Amino acid sequence: MSHKTALFVGRFQPFHKGHLSVVKYLAFHYEKVVIGIGSAEDNYLPKNPFTAGERYEMIHRALEEEELNLSKIAIIPVRNINNYALWVRHVELMLPKFDVVYTGSSIVKRLFKDDRKYKVEEVKKKIMTSATKVRRKILECEKWEDLLPPATKNYLLSIKGDKRIRKIN
Amino acid sequence: MSHKTALFVGRFQPFHKGHLSVVKYLAFHYEKVVIGIGSAEDNYLPKNPFTAGERYEMIHRALEEEELNLSKIAIIPVRNINNYALWVRHVELMLPKFDVVYTGSSIVKRLFKDDRKYKVEEVKKKIMTSATKVRRKILECEKWEDLLPPATKNYLLSIKGDKRIRKIN
Amino acid sequence: MSHKTALFVGRFQPFHKGHLSVVKYLAFHYEKVVIGIGSAEDNYLPKNPFTAGERYEMIHRALEEEELNLSKIAIIPVRNINNYALWVRHVELMLPKFDVVYTGSSIVKRLFKDDRKYKVEEVKKKIMTSATKVRRKILECEKWEDLLPPATKNYLLSIKGDKRIRKIN
Amino acid sequence: MSHKTALFVGRFQPFHKGHLSVVKYLAFHYEKVVIGIGSAEDNYLPKNPFTAGERYEMIHRALEEEELNLSKIAIIPVRNINNYALWVRHVELMLPKFDVVYTGSSIVKRLFKDDRKYKVEEVKKKIMTSATKVRRKILECEKWEDLLPPATKNYLLSIKGDKRIRKIN
Amino acid sequence: MSHKTALFVGRFQPFHKGHLSVVKYLAFHYEKVVIGIGSAEDNYLPKNPFTAGERYEMIHRALEEEELNLSKIAIIPVRNINNYALWVRHVELMLPKFDVVYTGSSIVKRLFKDDRKYKVEEVKKKIMTSATKVRRKILECEKWEDLLPPATKNYLLSIKGDKRIRKIN
Amino acid sequence: MSHKTALFVGRFQPFHKGHLSVVKYLAFHYEKVVIGIGSAEDNYLPKNPFTAGERYEMIHRALEEEELNLSKIAIIPVRNINNYALWVRHVELMLPKFDVVYTGSSIVKRLFKDDRKYKVEEVKKKIMTSATKVRRKILECEKWEDLLPPATKNYLLSIKGDKRIRKIN
């Protein structure tokens, strides 16, 4: 295990099994894991239906259910700023120190690479694009429940997140 | 122990032994504790010398040193918004669900009280004002080291936080 | 007549006969009416061509022409804030007290419903979508004049609003 | 009576009898009056204790009590923007058209004068500074009730505005 | 030559030979030229890939290469503000005095025209749209190098701007 | 002469002979000079009376009068951002590349030092504090004219800057 801290950046709209498998991998290979909830102040939008607090609950409950060691995992919302090239520094200022960045977003990957201070690992697109798929399935009333960790699915239903997705589109 | 979540809101500039004793109390009496780092985007200012990430480290290291159960404590930066009366709702949207609010700030206390959704507990002023005292002592080169948990003190020195306080005033 | 205050939220780009019929209905059934001009700081954009001040004039002149009792109707611009879930509280802070919300926007309806403090009435889509139709007709130089109250139409022409719509698209 | 519209700009923290006498003067001499509630998004601060919505109520109830013709008076909150020299244009965009500006603020007076488009009238300092006096009296538990129009006083008490002023200072 | 100052407003994403020919024309016909780099805080976006500082370098190096008299040309970034109708005034406050406005943007043209203080000249669309063409050619790995002044092309390559455009799309 | 670019950061409220002597020194010792006008969006405030555009004129006219080589000196406004620790990166993104930073502000000095990428030179306090002195003298109607370069003084008088300082205090 590395004595390093991995940052996993995503929007988690919603947190799904693909995300969970990344967190499990990171929790196994790194001393500490920081999960940065991006676009934290976006919500009630077709691509960003859930608030940062709701996404915190979705992630936390899934990790608890999975019995991951929560004492080494931090979950922290990070808001967007309009000036993209400032965003890497903004993230550095708002989060505890990290060494490696994992992300499924090509723009986030590019920004951290151009900054040259961090090793950047791209999470396989196949996994990461499925949040879009989850939202689409919910919107079209297809079966989506198996794509989320059970605890996350239950939380989403408890806040009527499926209805919300259908109403705001 | 209550099955509730306590929110402890402060600026933690810096996190000191008074803050630590509050966290220990809350960790003992509540199922979960959320530490909200207020004024998260203020830094390098006389009253707010440290960044949110630095304050995260100050708090986290002190709790680790104290061997508190970190899996039930979340540390989350929360930025200010200019419209004060919106701030309570902003906090609700950015943090996981909480039931009781602890704070040493009379304005935060007032805002949560007027919102009527939360029980609000004021942390004794005597304890909470000492962050101002710590900054003043550092500024005037008096002895301040005993006022912080050892791990916090060491971190503050490692980032030359004492020098910073003297330069920006 | 109800002793309540109705809030009517819209962007009014521009204010048309459908909007006017809603205001007349509300003025008849409620003691007071607040017309909230949404997206108040958007202007000179294809979907938001007019400034808040211009929309105020469009509404006020139409109500005057209709001889509605202006002393019980308030017209107040409300700017957007990026964090949607904060918007309901933002509206509460900027406007006088209201009891019921009328809107043609499904997102506004959803936000107020999730807030659970207000009764929310959806204005029939058929009526409300016609602002889009008005802009499209102006853009394509079709006949649009009959869709607006005469006083609004005249004001729109006096500020060369039709030309503006064609130029900014 | 002039066929012009007078804009009266103030923060109205709170609206007092001095303000009311200005509104009465303007309602008598101008065809229309716009009352711009400045610093609309400031609240729960020692110099700005009340929200824009609360100040709207304070003004509206006083004018109603005074039986002024509310159909010719608009009350509209206007937020601050950080760039002062942009503020005049910001006001123009958010409000209906006006011709003359009345204010007790020397900075507002200066900004409108430098813009050269408006006649600017300074409201006598003696009257306007009394909002500060009202807040100070409330803070120090002196007799303040006679300084406000009765309806405003009652509203302020109903929202426990006197307590708020004492708590946030 | 006119004793006036011309303002040339564009986003310059990137600065190309069409832009350069406009600057040369203006440098010949006006006493002073101000080049306003619009959307200054947008970057790493498909339509705005380069930072304001990078665009400054692109322009400055091209003018130097062309041996234009740099002492009479100012290059100044201007950020966007969300309220479009405020933007003309914002530009006036941030730049030295100018008399005539040249732009390829129909919205910028419209805003300055409605303001009525400036003569506005539209730069021929044929020339100005080619920044979109340059970005598209880079994206699709077609030949684009001849569309930029050599010094600009070299700078763009030195910061790996071509790669960036392909990554962020 | 160094083949480097020096950045000189100040607020220049107003630009005075002390500032001018720094610019002359830098123009002599560096290949290029960038003058960053800080707090660009502050104006009509006691400590920041002049707009960025006005300060641009004050500086440009003084350099012209002094017959400095304007083709190697860039004058660029830079707005403040609330998050201080982001400001260095913000400056990097908005300005052309620079190597050394000169400033009279101890906070700016500290921020660039902590960033570790630049050599930072402090301009002697004695010189730099005199902008405060100039404003105070203007405010108190003492003799101030000799403290500014003649062209700057004339410009300040032409915009009635002395009156403005007296009105906004």
**What is each CA distance from B60 to B56, B79, B128, in whole angstroms?**
6, 19, 19
Choices 3.30.870.10, 3.40.50.620, 3.40.1530.20, 3.30.70.1230: CATH for E2-168: 3.40.50.620
pLDDT band at A41 (very low <50, low <70, confident <90, very high): very high
Q: Is the pLDDT of residue B115 over 80?
A: yes
Interface list for chain E against chain D, based on CB atoms closer than 8 Å: 83, 85-86, 89-90, 93
d(Cα A141, Cα F98) in Å, to the nearest integer?
A: 56
Q: Write down the pLDDT at residue F128.
A: 59
Indicate whether D148 pLDDT > 70. Answer: yes
**Residue D115 with chain E: CB contacts under 8 Å:** none
Q: Which residues of E116-143 are buried (b: 16+ CB within 10 A; e: fewer)?
A: eeeebeebeeeebebbeebbebbbeeee
Instruction: Tell me the shortest Cα–Cα distance from F130 to chain A, in angstroms.
Output: 33
Q: Which residue of C has its CA nearest to A45?
A: C84
Q: Compute φ and ψ for E27, nearest 5 degrees.
A: -65, -30
**Range from A23-32, C129-138, D63-72, F151-160 carrying the lowest mean pLDDT:** C129-138
**pLDDT higher than 90, residue A68:** yes
- Digit-coded pLDDT (tens) for F86-144: 999 999 999 999 999 999 888 899 999 988 889 999 887 666 568 999 999 999 999 99
Please determine, for residue E18, whether its predicted confidence score (pLDDT) is greater than 90: yes
Nearest C-alpha in D relative to C93: D53
Using the structure block, give the residue that is written with the tokens 């080291």: B145
What average pLDDT does the structure give for chain F?
A: 94
| Interface present between E and B (3 or more CB pairs within 8 Å) | no
Within 8 A of E90 by CB-CB distance, chain D residues are 83, 86
Q: Which of D58, D44, D115, D52 is nearest to D84 (CA)?
A: D115
Is 80 exceeded by the pLDDT of residue D128?
Answer: no
Q: What is the tens place of the pLDDT at every residue in F48-62?
A: 999 999 999 999 999
**Average pLDDT over all residues of chain D:** 94
Q: What share of chain A is helix, strand, coil (3-state, %, to 5)?
A: 50, 20, 30
- What does chain F come to in residues? 169
Q: Please answer whether residues B15 and B148 qualify as being in contact, where contact means their C-beta atoms are separated by less than 8 angstroms.
A: yes
Please tell me which of the candidates D42, D51, D168 has its beta carbon nearest to residue B110: D168
Is the preceding peptide bond at A14 cis, omega within 30 degrees of 0?
yes
CA angle C127, C131, C136 (to 5 degrees): 125
Predicted confidence band at C3 (pLDDT cuts at 50, 70, 90)?
confident
| Interchain contact, C85 vs A51, CB within 8 Å | yes
Nearest 5 degrees, angle CA C140-CA C145-CA C146?
A: 125
Q: What is the pTM of this model?
A: 0.95
Predicted confidence (pLDDT) per residue in C108-125, tens digit: 999 999 888 899 998 876
pLDDT at residue D116 above 90?
Answer: no
Burial degree of C145 (CB within 10 A; 0-12, 13-18, 19+):
middle
Closest chain E residue by Cα to residue C42 = E83
| pLDDT band of B126, cuts 50, 70, 90 | low
Q: Which chains touch C (3 or more CB pairs under 8 A)?
A: A, B, D, E
Which chain F residue has the Cα nearest residue A85? F93
Min mean pLDDT across A59-63, B60-64, D91-95, D119-123 is at: D119-123
Mean pLDDT of E131-146: 96
Mean pLDDT of B30-39: 97
Under an 8 A CB cutoff, do C83 and A167 touch? no
Residue type, B62: A
Minimum Cα–Cα distance from C53: chain E residue: E85
User: Structural domain boundaries of chain F?
Assistant: 2-168
As a whole number of angstroms, the distance between CA B53 and CA B57 comes to 6
Nearest chain C CA: its distance from A108 CA (Å): 21
How distant is the Cα of B90 from the closest Cα of chain C, in angstroms?
7
- A-chain residues within 8 Å CB-CB of B92? 53
E116 pLDDT exceeds 90? no
How far is the alpha carbon of D155 from chain F, nearest alpha carbon, in Å? Answer: 34
Give which of A108, A92, A19 is closest to A59, Cα–Cα.
A19
Q: Which residues of E touch C56 (CB under 8 A)?
A: none
- The CB-based long-range contact list for C123-130 (8 Å cut-off, 24+ gap) reads C123/C8, C123/C22, C127/C18, C127/C19, C127/C21, C127/C22, C128/C10, C128/C18, C128/C19, C128/C104, C129/C104, C130/C16, C130/C18
- Interface present between C and A (3 or more CB pairs within 8 Å): yes
Confidence at residue C86, expressed as pLDDT on a 0 to 100 scale: 95
Distance CA A22, CA A121 (A): 11
Report the residue from D84, D106, D109 with minimal CB separation from F43.
Answer: D84
* D89 band by pLDDT with thresholds 50, 70 and 90: very high
Which chains neighbour A (Cβ–Cβ under 8 Å, 3 or more pairs)? B, C, E, F
Q: How confident is the model at residue B105 (pLDDT cuts 50, 70, 90)?
A: confident
**Average confidence (pLDDT) over C86-98:** 96
Is C51–E109 a contact, with Cβ atoms under 8 angstroms apart? Answer: no
Interface of E with C (CB under 8 A): 82-85, 106-107, 109-111, 114
For residue B34, give the H/E element and its range: strand B30-37
Q: Do A168 and C107 touch (CB under 8 A)?
A: yes
pLDDT of C50 over the 80 cut = yes
With CB atoms and an 8 Å threshold, state whether A164 touches C83.
no
More confident residue, A127 or A121: A121
Tell me which of B90, B108, B113, B114 to substitute to probe the interface with D (most D C-beta atoms closer than 10 Å): B114
* pLDDT tops 90 at residue E128: no
Chain D positions touching E86 (Cβ under 8 A) are 86, 89-90, 93
Q: What per-residue confidence (pLDDT) applies to C127?
A: 63
Q: Model confidence at F34, in pLDDT bands (50, 70, 90)?
A: very high
Å between F103 CA and nearest CA of chain A:
23
Compare all CA atoms of chain B with the CA of D163 and give the residue at the minimum distance.
B110
**Residue B125 pLDDT > 80:** no
Residue of F81, F86, F88, F110 to mutate, interface with B, max B Cβ within 10 Å:
F110
Residue range D149-161: mean pLDDT, rounded = 98
Q: Looking at beta carbons, which residues of chain F come within 8 Å of E96?
A: 53, 56-57, 60
Q: What is the pLDDT of residue F124?
A: 75
Percentage above 90 pLDDT, chain D: 85
Distance, CA of E128 to CA of A150 (rounded, Å): 54
**Which residues, at least 6 apart from E117, have a Cβ–Cβ distance to it below 8 Å?**
none
pLDDT of B70 reads 96
Positive or negative: CA dihedral F115, F118, F122, F123: negative
Tally of CB atoms within 10 A around B24: 14
Res D125: pLDDT: 63
Is B82's CB within 8 Å of D168's CB?
Answer: no
According to the model, what pLDDT value does residue C146 have? 96
